[in-house]
Amino acid sequence: MEAIVEKILDKITQYDKIIIHRHVRPDLDAIGSQIGLQNLLLLNYPEKKIMVTGYDEPNLHWLAGMNYVADEDYQDALVIVCDTANRERIDDQRYQNGKELIKIDHHPDEAPYGDISWVDPQASSTSEMITRFSREAKLLMDVQTARLLYAGIVGDTGRFLFPSTSSLTFEMAAYLRQFSIDFSDLSRQMDTISLEIAKLQGYVYDNLEIDENGAARVTIRQDLLKQLKLKETDTSAVVGAPGRIKEVQSWGVFVEQEDGGYRVRLRSKTIPINEIAKQHDGGGHPLASGANSANLEENDQIYSEIQDLLKKSQK
């Protein structure tokens, strides 16, 4: 830990310009670690130009927003990519235009990249890693940075309920809670959903298919999203809904894309499903992965693989 922190800190001190990226379709950890790192570095190196880039996700504007980054900003810049397992999922492919590249991530390191790579699959979140980095490097922390990193940890641990939550996770969260974050407001923001999302959640429960071993699936079509005036990214709010049902053990949420393909979100309570995701142009954590499907036939194949996995586990 000490050696990698020293290497990253050394690179940060060498550069006057730093541009921070994260993955497409950002979640709380992606935004929390990306902008949390930006705030942390600006606080400790106010003379540097430090920017964040990527799609400005409207559903997460309450947490933070992106900067405008020009093409010329990448000249002689250090690029840091947070919370992104492979190059294909990096939001804003201009990350390749910087002088050097650092990867900071907590997903399994199956697609290494970067001149420096710090990957810790045992960490609950990249926000936890950035918090550890700040403490190891003895960097100043403020309330806004703590808020971002705490939100990222809470988001990726399912409020400290997911198996990735460790004693170190609680230690980092306890450190961040020393700062005057409005935790009640943060909780309200994370809990609040629109009426349209509530209707989509009702649809998920009404249309969920569950087999005798606890394999479940639901398909969300484009016509339903248009009827509810929702975007594909809005469906992330209902991915965890099937897991609240006692009988459900592993499940897939199949979201139709405008090109006719499907984005597949795979979740499981105990049995790893990331190997299934890898077979379908995806990957991720053992109990939370994503994949891609070309059509309804491939959807059926993925669901059949989930069913077979659970059937074998029962035996």
Query: Per-residue DSSP letters for the chain?
Result: -HHHHHHHHHHHHH-SEEEEE-BSS--HHHHHHHHHHHHHHHHH-TTSEEEE-S---GGGTTT--PPP--GGGGTT-EEEEES-SSGGGBSSGGGGGSSEEEEEE-S--SS--SSEEEE-TTSS-HHHHHHHHHHHTT----HHHHHHHHHHHHHHTTTTTSTT--HHHHHHHHHHTTS---HHHHHHHHH---HHHHHHHHHHHHH-EE-TTSEEEEEE-HHHHHHHT--GGGGGGGTTGGGGSTT--EEEEEEE-TTS-EEEEEEESSS--HHHHHTTT-EE-SSEEEEEESSHHHHHHHHHHHHHHHHHHH-
Q: Tell me the per-residue pLDDT of 98-130, one tens digit each, with 9 for 90 and over.
A: 999 999 999 989 899 999 999 999 999 999 999
pTM greater than 0.85: yes
Enumerate the domain spans of the chain.
Answer: 2-190, 195-314
What CATH class has 195-314?
alpha beta
User: Are 2-190 and 195-314 the same fold in CATH?
Assistant: no
What's the one-letter identity of residue 279? Q
Q: Work out the mean pLDDT of the chain and round it to a whole number.
A: 95
- Tens of each residue's pLDDT in the chain, 315 residues: 889 999 999 999 999 999 999 999 899 999 999 999 999 999 999 999 999 999 999 889 999 999 999 999 999 999 999 999 999 999 999 999 999 999 999 998 989 999 999 999 999 999 999 999 999 999 999 999 999 999 999 999 999 988 899 999 999 999 999 999 998 999 999 988 999 999 999 999 999 999 999 999 999 999 999 999 999 989 999 999 999 999 999 999 999 999 999 999 999 999 999 999 999 999 888 999 999 999 999 999 999 999 999 999 987
What's the one-letter identity of residue 105? D
Backbone angles phi, psi at 291, to 5 degrees: -145, 180
- Dist. CA 63–CA 52, nearest whole Å: 14
- Torsion, CA 14, CA 18, CA 23, CA 28, rounded to 10: 100
- What is 2-190's CATH number, 3.90.1640.10, 3.20.10.10, 3.40.50.11540, 3.30.70.270? 3.90.1640.10
